[in-house]
């Protein structure tokens, strides 16, 4: 199941579906980095609201996406981690350290707007 990537001005928004295989995640990683380059995007929001489980692979891939996109000079925000998913992640020792997170899409966009304001 491919992850749709939506272009909204200078921001790319990728919305996860419930069940993503490792192959889907790898494809998303490549797709996002390529599109950030193509559209000269300043930020990426990854919306994981629908995701059923964030296991070690998914969490590592998200972290890699954020680091790769930072190297391109853009920001990444992960939004919509559900409370029970967050609980399971912490038990598994998956902390997404160094990656920006926000409650939902709206908060994610607000966070980026603030960030853009201060850098402009």
By the criterion CB under 8 A, which residues form the site for other proteins?
A: 19-23, 52-57, 60, 82-85, 87-89, 91-94
In the bound state with other proteins, the residue whose beta carbon lies nearer, of 57 and 116, is 57
94 Cβ contact list (under 8 Å, min separation 6): 54, 55, 56, 59
- Shortest reach from residue 84's CB to other proteins, in Å: 4
Beta carbon of residue 55, minimum distance to other proteins (angstroms, whole number): 4
Q: Between residues 39 and 57, which has the closer beta carbon with respect to other proteins?
A: 57
Q: Which is nearer to other proteins, 6 or 19 (CB)?
A: 19
- Between residues 18 and 37, which has the closer beta carbon with respect to other proteins? 18
In whole angstroms, the minimum distance from the beta carbon of 62 to other proteins comes to 13
Q: Which residues 6+ apart lie within 8 Å of 114 measured at CB?
A: none
User: Mind spelling out the 3-state secondary structure of 5-65?
Assistant: EEEECCEEEEECCCCCCHHHHHHHHHHHHHHHHHHCCCEEEEECCCCCCCCHHHHHHHHHH
Give min distance, CB of 21 to other proteins, in A. Answer: 5
Cα dihedral sign, 94-17-62-117:
negative
């Amino acid at each position: 199941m491919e992850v749709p990537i939506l272009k909204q001005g200078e921001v790319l928004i990728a919305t996860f579906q419930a069940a993503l295989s490792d192959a889907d995640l790898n494809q998303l990683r490549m797709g996002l980095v390529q599109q950030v380059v193509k559209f000269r995007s300043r930020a990426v929001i990854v919306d994981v609201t629908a995701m059923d489980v964030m296991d070690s692979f998914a969490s590592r891939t998200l972290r890699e996406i954020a680091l790769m996109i930072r190297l391109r000079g853009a920001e990444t925000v992960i939004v919509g981690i559900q409370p029970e998913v967050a609980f399971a992640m912490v038990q598994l020792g998956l902390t997404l350290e160094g990656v920006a997170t926000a409650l939902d899409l709206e908060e994610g966009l607000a966070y980026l707007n603030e960030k853009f304001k201060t850098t402009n």
